[in-house]
Amino acid sequence: MERKRLPEYLKRGIVDTEKTKLVRTILKNKCLNTVCEAARCPNKAECYAKNTATFLILGSICTRNCRFCNISGGKPEPLDRNEPFKVAQAIKELGLKYAVITSVTRDDLPLQGADMFSSVITETKKLVPDIKIEVLTPDFEGVEDLIDIVVDAKPDVFNHNIETVKRIYPKARPLANYERSLNFLKHIKERNPKMITKSGLMVGLGETFEELETTFKDLKAVDCDIVTVGQYMQPSKKHLEVEKYYTPDEFKKVENLAHKAGIKQVVASGLVRSSYKAFETYETI
């Protein structure tokens, strides 16, 4: 089947400025990864220009095999135990007010990286006391003790992506579980009712508006505060094909469905990704 052509409204030009070069230089000097590069995010130039980036910890190799993601799977590298401090230093050098920390999935580790998330939060807040930190974590296989390690480090926003509707999980996320991700978000609020929770999903994999509405209701049922919705774009021919490109009007319909379900803050458009305009959204909660 012929691949669908990317609509013009989903295309972004290449932007390179002194600020984008500065971000790349700092990340390179500290041997740090970003999801901006690893997942080929279409917004990286805009974010770099604002002196921000989503830091990717725990290496660049994932132990899962999600068929939509551009991050490589396989045997991960050994952990860099100095990574939390190096991330904190980069955040300080970049002068960030809001930092997003995410990771590959590390099912191979005893604590699956939860301890490293906690360390990054702690080290960063030591070095930059006024920083706001959002974490976007894997599901830790649903182990509540691991979720608690991150919650107790007190990030300002705790994000865990639902990614897609329940029916598409076996195709898109064969090693993940829809109910497990919902329970993950539910447990965060049980551990700390005041913590802001967030989730995100892609559209364009064959889901229906009815399924999206059900997903938003499920997220509301676990008291999720913020939801992001963006267009899935096929990273390569090896990944799942795009079944539909949503128009701006259809994204408005998706946004309305989420608001109707009771979600407090919704960010929905073609180029939206989990951490896109994360600070601006946080400030509205």
**CA-to-CA separations, 134 to 20, 30, 78, 81, 183, in angstroms, rounded:** 21, 21, 25, 21, 19
Residue 2 lies in a domain: no
Q: Residue 38: what pLDDT?
A: 47
- In a domain? residue 278: yes
Structural domains counted in the chain = 1
* pLDDT given at position 42: 60
Domain that holds residue 109: 14-284
Confidence (pLDDT) at 54 = 82
In a domain, 8, yes or no: no
Q: For the segment 90-147, what is each residue's pLDDT rounded down to a tens digit?
A: 999 988 889 999 998 899 999 999 999 999 999 999 999 999 999 999 999 999 999 9
Burial string for 136-170 (b: 16+ CB within 10 Å, else e) reads: bbbbbeeeeebbbbbbebebbbbbbbbbbbbebbe
Task: List, for residues 192-227, the tens digit of each pLDDT value.
Answer: 999 999 999 999 999 999 999 999 999 999 999 999
Q: Residue 136 corresponds to which amino acid? A: L
DSSP letter assigned to residue 163: B
Is position 1 within any domain? no
Kindly state whether residue 126 falls inside one of the protein's structural domains.
yes
Domain assignment present for residue 9? The answer is no
- Strands 196-203 and 157-159, by their bridges, are parallel
Q: What is the pLDDT of residue 22?
A: 72
| 7 found inside a domain | no
- The residue type of 230 is G
Q: Are the CB atoms for 242 and 168 separated by under 8 Å?
A: no
Q: Residue 103 belongs to a domain with what CATH number? A: 3.20.20.70
**Per-residue pLDDT at 2 exceeds 80:** no
- The span from the CA of 173 to the CA of 144, in Å, is 21
> pTM of the predicted model, to two decimals?
0.89
Is 88 in contact with 124 (CB distance < 8 Å)? Answer: yes
- Of 30-34, 40-44, 261-265, the range with the highest mean pLDDT is 261-265
Inside any domain, residue 5: no
Between vectors from CA 267 to CA 261 and to CA 268, what angle results, nearest 5°?
Answer: 85
